[in-house]
Amino acid sequence: MNRITRMICAALIALTPTTLPAGSSSATDPVLPAAEVAAFSDQVQKDLAARGARVAIVARMGRDPDTLPAGITYTHLGFWVFSNITKADGSTGQGYRVYNLYQRSGDRTKSDLVQDSPADFFAGAKRLDGGIIIPDPRLQAKLLSVIQSPAYAALHNPRYSVLANPANGQFQNCTEHTLNIVMAALYDTSDPARIKANIAAHFTPQPVAVDGLQRALAPVLSNALSTSDHGAAVATATFGSLARFMQAHRLTQQVYRITPNGPARF
């Protein structure tokens, strides 16, 4: 085996799903008991409702955080919107609907906007641990207006990459779409060019260490790992980078994490 072949083999071993962020997938093979997931999702709903959250950004652990790159804990997030709910038996009530960007099960390079329930959202978790951003009340109202408008779908780019660069529109992941909606609400615009300009000017993405050979091989392993939208360095939008941006600009009411043991500091 020559030196180049050894390097390629080593890179293929190194560039496994455990070394990169997991994608934003709906739960097709849940690993946690359904009863525990249902109880936890109800706990999160009650916690948000007790805090008066009409709109919150909630993240889940889709992979063991010990296997993820430094600085990344959560692998999927969505908007939780307090809504009127029609249950399976036809009865009505109130609760949260989750607005997600999910990869397509048959083509991981594409995504769709999907609404589901809190239990569906956490069914894809590897641990019952949620990251929570509650925007300030004024921003919640503006976010709700954007989510209910055509801009929500118009700002979706179905070309999916786990490591999408949020400063341009070549690819998109769930956090980038969420960031687009936040910027649309903040600047009262649905113009993608203006939104991307504001992201480039004001938002600091999370750096991800991916060396040159791994970057070259990533599309071979999965086109959903493309880094062709990046320059010399790779950085993407994450729950942590979104929380830091919103806190720095005083756009949050609360930022915390929640487990079955209750709320905790993020």
Q: Are 98 and 116 in contact (CB under 8 A)?
A: yes
The string of pLDDT tens digits covering residues 49-100 is 999 999 999 999 988 878 787 888 999 999 999 999 887 788 888 999 999 9
Q: Are 52 and 140 in contact (CB under 8 A)?
A: no
Q: With CA atoms as reference, report the closest residue to 188 among 238, 138, 253, 133.
A: 138
Tokens of residue 264, six digits: 């905790």
The string of pLDDT tens digits covering residues 126-160 is 999 999 999 999 999 999 999 999 999 999 999 99
The string of pLDDT tens digits covering residues 242-251 is 999 999 999 9
Go through 117-142 and write b for each residue having 16 or more CB atoms within 10 A of its CB, e for each that does not: bbbbbbbbbbbbbbbbbbbeeebbeb
The string of pLDDT tens digits covering residues 4-61 is 334 333 433 344 444 445 557 665 567 799 999 999 999 999 999 999 999 999 999 9
Going from the C-alpha of 227 to that of each of 105, 164, 200, 206, 235, the distances in angstroms are 21, 7, 17, 14, 9
Q: With CA atoms as reference, report the closest residue to 174 among 69, 35, 37, 21.
A: 21
Q: With CA atoms as reference, report the closest residue to 98 among 159, 57, 140, 150.
A: 57
Considering the entire predicted model, what is its pTM? 0.86
| CA 215 from centre of chain | 22
